[in-house]
């Protein structure tokens, strides 16, 4: 089966820093990949290149069998590759429901349909998506009033309105109190599973990685140092020494 994402020799330097070093990588539909690595290892850079926010100095990115290396981010998102950010990108002055209406309107524009915002959305679809991420009872609150964990959920709900095939989440649990992280991840993963969305998330919390990933890729200095089933990668000697600090 053709992988959902495939990169070939993906390379990007920032001055003397090699943020991506000839990365060959594949992700298949249905996987739940956790990317781990020290600060500055290049995890976000790789996400940024795959989603069109940065262009590589060499190498290529394929999504769903097509070369997307030189496409702008807004086109890539409409091909079915959505992302969330280390800091959620919300419309803070709008209500939770309006944020989803804006996301739905963006999807209609992609289809070439221009309508007033209120006409362009299926109310039931929005209700269902809010239900899925547990924000239905907050629909009329301003996004700015939500705590960090709920902002992450709203960010993902907005991404789901675009009907993605893949969602890449950059540190979905960062800034969330440790006692709330598991609830947040369980909600996110349940929502993605219900919508059949493949998922790749960057995560520092190894408990979360162990619990929710079906595969782990360990980033060290712009390279994939280990990649495979969680138990195997988390036992890898270099990973333990350089990432987990426990060898």
Contact between 48 and Mg ion by CB under 5 A: the answer reads: no
Q: Which residue lies nearer to ligand ATP by CB, 18 or 162?
A: 18
Q: Does 84 bind ligand ATP (CB under 6 A)?
A: no
Where in 8-47 is the site for ligand ATP (CB under 6 A)? 14, 17, 19, 37, 39-45
Is the Cβ of residue 101 or residue 205 nearer to Mg ion in the bound state?
205
User: What minimum distance in Å lies between the beta carbon of 172 and Mg ion?
Assistant: 12
Helix or strand run (H / E) with residue 224: strand 223-228
User: Counting contacts by CB under 6 A, is residue 173 touching ligand ATP?
Assistant: no
Q: Is 120 or 173 the residue whose CB approaches ligand ATP more closely? A: 173
Backbone φ and ψ for 146, nearest 5 degrees, come out as -80, 140
Contact partners, residue 202, CB within 8 Å, separation at least 6: 34, 35, 36, 43, 44, 47, 169, 170, 171
By CB under 5 A, name the one of 33, 34, 37, 44 that touches Mg ion: 44
- Could you say which residues in the range 40-79 bind ligand ATP, by CB under 6 A? 40-45
In angstroms, rounded to a whole number, what is the distance separating the alpha carbons of residues 42 and 105?
Answer: 33
Give the range of 2-10, 23-31, 39-47, 143-151 binding Mg ion by CB under 5 A: 39-47
| Bridge partners (DSSP) listed for residue 6 | 26, 62
Closest listed residue to residue 12, CA positions, set 62, 64, 47: 47
């Amino acid at each position: 089966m053709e992988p959902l994402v495939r990169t070939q020799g993906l390379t990007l330097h920032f001055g003397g820093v090699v943020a991506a070093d000839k990365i060959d990588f594949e992700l298949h539909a249905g996987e739940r990949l956790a990317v781990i690595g020290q600060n500055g290892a290049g995890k976000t850079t790789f996400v940024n290149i795959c989603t069109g926010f940065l262009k590589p100095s060499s190498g290529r990115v394929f999504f769903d069998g097509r070369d997307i290396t030189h496409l702008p981010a807004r086109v890539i998102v409409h091909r079915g590759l959505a992302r969330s950010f280390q800091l959620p990108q919300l419309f803070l002055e709008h209500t939770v429901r309006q944020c989803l209406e804006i996301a739905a309107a963006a999807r209609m524009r992609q289809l070439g349909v221009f309508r007033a915002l209120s006409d362009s959305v299926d109310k039931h679809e929005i209700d269902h998506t809010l239900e899925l991420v547990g924000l239905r009872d907050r629909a009329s609150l301003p996004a700015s009033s939500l705590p960090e964990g709920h902002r992450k959920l709203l960010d993902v709900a907005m991404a789901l309105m675009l009907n993605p095939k893949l969602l890449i989440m950059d540190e979905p649990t960062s800034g969330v109190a440790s006692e709330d992280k598991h609830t947040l991840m369980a909600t996110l993963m349940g929502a993605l599973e219900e919508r059949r969305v493949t998922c790749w998330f960057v995560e520092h919390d190894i408990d979360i990685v162990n619990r929710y990933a079906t595969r782990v890729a360990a980033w060290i200095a712009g390279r994939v140092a280990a990649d495979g089933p969680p138990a195997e990668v988390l036992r890898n000697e270099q990973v333990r020494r350089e990432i987990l600090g426990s060898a």
